Amino acid sequence: MNTTALPPLLGHLGLLSDATRFRILMTLDSREFSVSELCRILQLPQPTVSRHLRLLAEGGWVVSRSDGARRPYRRNGGLDREQAALWHTLHGAAGDDPRIREDAERAEAVLAERRDRSRDFFSSTADRWDSIRAELYGIRADLLPLFGLLDPTWTVADLGAGTGVLAAAVAPFVGRVVVVDRSPEMLAAARDRMPSTGTVDFHEGEVEQLPLADGSVDVAFLSLVLHHLHDPARVLAEARRILKPGGRLVLVDIREHDRAELTEEMGHQWPGFTPAQLHGWLQAADLTPLPTVPLPPDAEARGPLLFLQVARR
């Protein structure tokens, strides 16, 4: 008779009957630790801990991930039904075992050291953290959480989109993005920039006469566009036309200024706008403006200061 082919449950019982493996699994139950950290917590040599981890991994009880030179381990969160039932029983039976309590205290000490290292790092780099974060994650990393405010079912229009920087950033987070610009060269650059995720439609056209259907858009963006146009009131009326009931127009533009050279150098048709001027146009277009918000200046920027204006249909 073949006695080596044990039922799976007996195999799991045999694996977890070893006190060291059980202690490792209890330590990794809701946290992850590297081999060296487990050695400190369990007060055991590295070869012993590594051997037991290998057996637990082969049995499907623990998993690991690569983290540079470290390889943290944790209990497998995808245990099969028999394993999960057995772990529930054994975990509850551990009760107030003194070795488990000691392991838990040492584990907390290791975690506290991690927190101290992190705190020390940020304390020593507070004056450089903005540049470090930008180098690691990009200059717009602080704005990324705002994409979570977008509804994944929305249709968003980027009006006067230029090379599509804003449209490309928004596209992965909404149902559809509509890009409109009058310049074929700008649209070609926008197409090249778009991510593979998201649905994006491109239209060559004027923002004064949008090639979009009435009530087809949840949110319309006009970012640094209005001051280039002869008739802002007409543009705002067109934006209102394409918005769904309850839809929003989000407008970023320049505050009123006296820098006449921009008219010649960049073709500006308006020297910025005042909130009263803008609110008058929005209300005439049957849009309800929210308070105008001056945007904080960028120390590296050489242009006029900006504002944010949101209006509802």
Q: What is the dihedral of CA 103, 108, 112, 114, to 10 degrees?
A: 60
Using N-to-C axis directions, what is the helix angle for 19-27 and 98-124, rounded to 10°?
40
141-312 CATH pick, 3.40.140.10, 3.20.20.80, 3.40.50.300, 3.40.50.150: 3.40.50.150
Spatial distance between the Cα atoms of 202 and 60, rounded to a whole number of angstroms: 50
Task: State the Cα–Cα distance between residues 141 and 274, nearest whole angstrom.
Answer: 30
C-alpha–C-alpha distance, residues 170 and 149, integer Å: 11
Per-residue pLDDT of the chain (313 residues; tens, 9 = 90+): 344 545 676 777 888 889 999 999 999 998 999 999 999 999 999 999 999 999 999 999 999 988 777 889 999 988 888 888 888 888 888 767 899 999 999 999 999 998 888 788 778 878 887 788 778 777 777 778 888 899 999 999 999 999 999 999 999 999 999 999 999 999 999 999 998 776 999 999 999 999 999 999 999 999 999 998 999 999 999 999 999 999 999 999 999 888 777 666 667 788 889 999 999 999 999 999 999 999 988 877 888 899 999 999 9
Phi, psi at residue 32, to the nearest 5°? Answer: -125, 145
Q: What's the predicted TM-score (pTM) here?
A: 0.66
- List phi, psi (to 5°) of 213: -75, 155
Determine the Cα–Cα distance for residues 67 and 114; give it in Å rounded to an integer. Answer: 15
The angle that helices 19-27 and 35-42 make with each other, rounded to 10 degrees, is 120
Given a contact cutoff of 8 angstroms between Cβ atoms, the answer to whether 243 and 214 are in contact is no
pLDDT score recorded for residue 2: 43
- Spell out the residues 6+ positions from residue 82 whose beta carbon is closer than 8 angstroms to its own: 8, 9, 12
Q: Which of 230, 234, 304 is nearest to 272 (CA)?
A: 304
Other C-beta atoms lying within 10 Å of the C-beta of residue 229: 18
Q: Please state which CATH number belongs to domain 8-124.
A: 1.10.10.10
The whole-angstrom separation of Cα 61 and Cα 93 is: 18
For the beta carbon of residue 28, count every other beta carbon within 10 angstroms: 24
Around 194, how many Cα atoms within 13 Å sit in the side-chain half-sphere?
22
CA angle 230–280–232, rounded 5-degree value: 15
Closest listed residue to residue 229, CA positions, set 274, 181, 195 = 181
Domains of the chain, by residue range, sit at 8-124, 141-312
Radius of gyration of the chain (CA): 30
